[in-house]
């Protein structure tokens, strides 16, 4: 049985297969997962991740049981451990999609689960592999290539799990150049940078967004998350530092794209939405088909595509 815990579980070949499957599912509804049940267990807020997984499962003919606000509405509030909750829910469902505030929670769940676990985000410094898969799908589909890409990550690189997950995926491709734009306080963590070094991915760090975006093929904007940066003073300091205005968007190369996992607050101005570079709402649609492909893969189609995750 495979679980999807971190993006290191994929190879370049398995990504190609997964994305081929995703593309083949565009606009489709079928009964291929009829009789299967997905449980969505969310201990942190979510709109896109939970609803797109639910919609994906319904489009494939499966059923959904769901729990939002897990911290308050689940038995965790009565003192139940995550392990006990998973032992229970894995008897109700054929796959569990879970988001949790602790790094490593999905890996812990995988140890005791009878069914595949999908990590839909674990902590600030963990991963969000399904978001990174849909981000990568968006990049490859919009640019029409897999190699020779300059990506500029902007903003909250320290507490942004999907940017962490995507960095691991990018290291599988050729001639990838990464620029991390952030304040010194919100720099990308060393584990990701070490991984890029080990895989010969050229990266640089800067505080100058305007210079970096002019050479970008992909501008990846992030949210300065109030829920991740606990300190109010620090939040106020960081907020508003890197805003994509229409002028910033207009300074980008022809064919370059702006992506964002969303939700956004004020880090991309609404005037950017109708720029030819803005693809963040199309990205949402790609998320649906990528998640359909992930569910089909974990529930039978081709389990080999997802390698075993590392055990801690």
Tell me which residues touch ligand NCD (CB under 6 A). 48-49, 121, 128, 131, 161-162, 223, 225, 261-263
Looking at beta carbons only, is 150 or 260 nearer to ligand NCD?
Answer: 260
Judge whether 153 and 196 are in contact, CB under 8 Å: no
For the CB of residue 10, give the shortest distance to ligand NCD in the complex, in Å.
18
For the CB of residue 106, give the shortest distance to ligand NCD in the complex, in Å.
13
d(CA 298, CA 100): 20
For the CB of residue 35, give the shortest distance to ligand NCD in the complex, in Å.
28
Sheet holding 202-206, edge to edge: 202-206, 176-181, 149-154, 218-221, 257-259
Residue 254: how many CA atoms within 13 Å on its side-chain side? 0
Catalytic positions, please?
48-49, 78, 99, 128
Give the Å distances, CA to CA, from 192 to 22, 55, 162, 165, 199.
Answer: 27, 32, 12, 9, 11
d(CA 289, CA 220): 21
Q: Is the peptide bond before 263 cis (omega within 30 degrees of 0)?
A: yes
Helix 280-298 to helix 129-143 angle (10° resolution) is 120
Looking at beta carbons only, is 32 or 278 nearer to ligand NCD?
Answer: 278
Looking at beta carbons only, is 9 or 49 nearer to ligand NCD?
Answer: 49
d(CA 312, CA 308): 12
For the CB of residue 174, give the shortest distance to ligand NCD in the complex, in Å.
28
Looking at beta carbons only, is 90 or 221 nearer to ligand NCD?
Answer: 221
């Amino acid at each position: 049985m495979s679980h999807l815990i971190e993006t290191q579980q994929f190879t370049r070949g398995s990504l190609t297969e997964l994305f081929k499957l995703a593309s083949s599912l565009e606009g489709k509804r079928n009964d291929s997962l009829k009789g299967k049940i997905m449980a969505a267990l969310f201990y942190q807020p979510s709109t896109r991740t939970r609803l797109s997984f639910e919609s994906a499962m319904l489009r494939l003919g499966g059923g959904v049981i769901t729990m939002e606000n897990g911290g308050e509405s689940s038995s965790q509030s009565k003192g139940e451990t995550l392990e006990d909750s998973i032992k229970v829910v894995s008897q109700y469902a054929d796959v569990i999609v879970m988001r949790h505030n602790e790094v490593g929670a999905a890996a812990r769940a995988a140890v005791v689960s009878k069914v595949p676990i999908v990590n839909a985000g674990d902590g600030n410094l963990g991963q969000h592999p399904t978001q990174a898969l849909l981000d990568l799908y968006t990049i490859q589909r919009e640019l029409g290539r897999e190699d020779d890409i300059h990506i500029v990550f902007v903003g909250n690189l320290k507490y942004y799990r999907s940017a962490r997950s995507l960095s691991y995926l990018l290291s599988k491709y050729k001639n990838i150049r990464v620029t991390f734009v952030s304040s010194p306080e919100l720099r990308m963590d060393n584990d990701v940078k070490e991984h890029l070094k080990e895989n010969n991915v050229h990266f640089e760090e800067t505080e100058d967004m305007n210079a970096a975006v002019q050479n970008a093929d992909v501008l990846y904007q992030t949210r300065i998350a109030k829920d991740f940066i606990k300190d109010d003073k620090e939040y106020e300091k960081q907020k508003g530092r890197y805003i994509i205005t229409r002028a910033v968007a207009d300074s980008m190369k022809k064919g370059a794209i702006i992506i964002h996992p969303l939700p956004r607050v004020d880090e991309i101005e609404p005037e950017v939405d109708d720029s030819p570079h803005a693809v963040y709402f199309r990205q949402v649609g790609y998320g649906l088909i990528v998640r359909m492909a992930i569910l089909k893969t974990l529930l039978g189609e081709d389990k080999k595509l997802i390698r075993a995750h590392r055990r801690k």
